[in-house]
């Protein structure tokens, strides 16, 4: 009789978030989907998110961009898309 045990292992996820033109997105929220573990991107669009359970999804959000949810990987390069629906609702007051 063989008994096999497995535990969900946590990993560190690192990556870069860019806009449709390829420029870094500063201050985008990167979060384990459905969890409380989150971080924001730095001046170069880079992020590091620790203690991500293996097999989890990561959500990336930023104002004016569509939220993107992808499978967590050790190294990630994320390209966000403009949310034109949201841009139509912007009101400028001067």
- The string of pLDDT tens digits covering residues 31-82 is 998 888 999 999 999 999 999 998 899 999 999 999 999 999 999 999 999 9
pLDDT of residue 10: 85
Other residues' Cβ atoms within 10 Å of the Cβ of residue 64: 13
Residue 90 has pLDDT above 70, yes or no: no
Mean pLDDT of 1-13: 68
Instruction: Give the pTM.
Output: 0.79
Residue 87 has pLDDT above 90, yes or no: no
H/E segment holding residue 76: strand 75-79
């Amino acid at each position: 009789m063989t008994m096999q045990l497995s535990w969900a292992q946590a990993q560190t996820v690192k990556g870069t978030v860019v806009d449709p033109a390829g420029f870094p997105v500063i201050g985008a929220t990167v979060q384990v989907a459905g969890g409380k573990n989150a971080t924001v991107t730095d001046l170069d669009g880079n992020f590091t998110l620790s203690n991500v359970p293996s097999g989890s999804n990561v959500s990336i959000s930023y104002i004016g961009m569509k939220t993107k949810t992808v499978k967590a990987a050790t190294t990630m390069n994320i390209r966000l898309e403009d949310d034109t629906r949201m841009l139509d609702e912007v009101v400028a007051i001067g």
